[in-house]
């Protein structure tokens, strides 16, 4: 994916520009993202649209997940699988009941929730479908039995919130209110992450401890904002005596450009280079908010093929990165805007919790930690001597 397309997929498009008269909300049951679904529902209700919900990927989850998700949302869901065809006839029946001929029906949901797959099922068209975030990069219309189906990009949650980067500040009156809201929502994202991250964190502390004790090292990688988290993790790892290396695409002095544009995310040479540093039994940690950063998931895939243990920190588990994980730590900071600042704050909290608990597990003392941080002088040549 080119850098320009990466930016394009993050562009927010006002909901009313679609001119919908109905909506279907697709929920990925592998990763329901309840808080984000509530934002979608708020937008649908504000627009006063008839709608119904589809619970996709039921073939991949326990049946109990359906009732749990239904209870959290307070709405009925049509259980379905775009792969097996489960629920297709029920969806068609609900479609005819909910909408009138001539209606423009927006198919909504985050990426990998099955929006394009549903349109393909209904129309019989062979559409481009993939598990990489951002496969659909623009709003596209299709005809279906007198209706118009509108395929949408996952970032449509940003509707009606102009200039929203990560937190909606449109109703704040002062800078103080805005600052307080950003801090509060960062904290809320971290607290929400408690629900999804603790099980994975607990497992990863033990596997890190075991592998480090047996002489293995940790390699951590990420891009952009996740690259900053990776560098923080490696720095704090060294401060607590963890044998740790870090690889990002920050390009040194070009880092601000890399941070915003994602330079090198699709560079396979970078993933090959990272995998060279990994030996069997080592642990490689991949950090990505989207779960679709190319060189990151490819590096983990290559490392796992070499016998390394893979750990993933991400907001979106049903992604190429999530599928490379031996151990998965999921944040829960959404809903987000085009920026992933709340997720970055949650990921920083995750790596802090992980490394501080690991240090305690390994019996690292305060004196030892200070020793790891103190400068150490090595004799060097006199100035001017080549």
Q: Does residue 115 share a domain with residue 34?
A: yes
Residue scoring higher pLDDT (131 or 125): 125
Closest CA to 12 of 152, 135, 112: 152
Query: Which pLDDT score is estimated for 361?
Result: 95
Residue 201 covered by a domain? yes
| Residue span of the structural domain in which 308 resides | 175-360
Same domain for 336 and 205 = yes
Q: Are residues 77 and 199 in the same domain?
A: no
Span of 31-45, 48-62, 93-107, 254-268 with lowest mean pLDDT: 254-268
Residues 152 and 179 in one domain: no
Split into its structural domains, the chain has a count of 2
Average pLDDT over residues 325-348: 86
User: Which uninterrupted H or E stretch holds 139?
Assistant: none
Same structural domain for residues 138 and 180? no
What residue ranges in the chain does DSSP mark as E strands? 22-28, 51-56, 77-79, 104-108, 140-144, 147-151, 218-222, 244-248, 283-288, 309-314, 327-330
* pLDDT computed for residue 42 by the predictor: 83
Does residue 71 lie within any of the structural domains?
Answer: yes
Query: Tell me, what CATH number does 51's domain have?
Result: 3.40.50.300
- The CATH number of whichever domain residue 262 belongs to comes to 3.40.50.10490
Are 243 and 101 in a shared domain? no
Question: Do 263 and 306 belong to one domain?
Answer: yes
Which of 145-159, 176-190, 277-291 shows the lowest per-residue confidence on average (mean pLDDT)? 145-159
Q: What percent of the chain has pLDDT over 70?
A: 86
**Residues 346 and 298 grouped into a single domain:** yes
In terms of domains, do 200 and 343 share one? yes
Q: Across-strand partners of 284?
A: 219, 310
Confirm whether 380 is domain-assigned.
no
In a domain, 377, yes or no: no
pLDDT above 80 for 157:
no
Contacts of 184 (CB under 8 A, 6+ apart): none
Tell me, yes or no, whether 382 lies in a domain.
Answer: no
Domain-embedded: residue 98: yes
For residue 295, give the 3-state DSSP assignment. Answer: helix
Residue with the bigger pLDDT between 160 and 30: it is: 30
Q: Is residue 170 part of a domain?
A: no
Same domain, 143 and 276: no
188 & 126 share domain: no
Q: Are residues 229 and 290 in the same domain?
A: yes
Tell me the pTM: 0.82
- pLDDT tens-digit map of 262-275: 567 778 888 999 99
pLDDT, averaged across the chain: 86
Q: What is the pLDDT of residue 11?
A: 41
φ and ψ at residue 111, rounded to 5 degrees: -65, 150
Task: Judge whether 367 lies within some domain.
Answer: no
Tens digit of pLDDT for each residue in 348-372? 999 999 999 999 999 999 899 999 8
């Amino acid at each position: 994916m080119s850098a320009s397309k990466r930016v394009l997929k993050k562009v927010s498009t006002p909901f009313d520009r679609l001119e919908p008269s109905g909506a279907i909300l697709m929920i990925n049951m592998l990763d329901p993202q309840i808080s984000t679904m509530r934002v979608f529902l708020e937008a649908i209700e504000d627009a006063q649209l008839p709608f119904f919900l589809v619970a996709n990927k039921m073939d991949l989850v326990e049946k109990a997940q359906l009732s749990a998700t239904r209870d959290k949302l307070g709405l009925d869901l049509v259980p379905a699988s775009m792969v097996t065809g489960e629920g297709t006839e029920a969806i068609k029946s609900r479609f005819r009941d909910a909408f009138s001929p001539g209606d423009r029906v927006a198919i909504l949901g985050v990426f990998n929730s099955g929006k394009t797959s549903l349109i393909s099922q209904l129309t019989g068209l062979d559409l481009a479908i993939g598990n990489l975030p951002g496969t659909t990069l623009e709003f596209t219309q299709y005809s279906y039995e007198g209706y118009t189906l509108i395929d949408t990009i996952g970032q449509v949650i940003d509707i009606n919130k102009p200039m929203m980067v990560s937190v909606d500040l449109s109703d704040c009156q002062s800078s103080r209110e805005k600052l307080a809201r950003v801090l509060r929502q960062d904290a809320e994202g971290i607290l929400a992450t408690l629900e999804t991250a603790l099980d994975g964190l607990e497992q990863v502390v033990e596997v890190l401890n075991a592998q480090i004790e047996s002489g293995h090292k940790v390699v951590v990688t990420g891009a952009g904002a996740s690259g900053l988290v990776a560098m923080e993790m490696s720095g704090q790892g060294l401060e607590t005596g963890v044998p740790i290396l870090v690889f990002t695409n920050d390009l040194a002095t070009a880092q601000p450009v890399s941070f915003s544009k994602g330079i090198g995310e699709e560079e396979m040479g970078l993933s090959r280079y990272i995998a060279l540093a990994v030996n069997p039994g080592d642990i490689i940690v991949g950090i990505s908010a989207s779960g679709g950063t190319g060189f990151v998931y490819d590096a983990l895939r290559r490392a796992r093929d070499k016998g390394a243990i893979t750990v993933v920190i991400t907001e979106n588990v049903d992604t190429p990165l999530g599928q490379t994980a031996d151990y998965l730590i999921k944040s829960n900071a959404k809903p987000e805007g085009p920026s992933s600042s709340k997720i970055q704050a949650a990921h920083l909290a995750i790596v802090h919790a992980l490394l501080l608990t690991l240090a305690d597990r390994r019996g690292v003392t305060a004196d030892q930690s200070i020793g790891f941080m103190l400068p150490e002088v090595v004799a060097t040549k006199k100035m001017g001597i080549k």
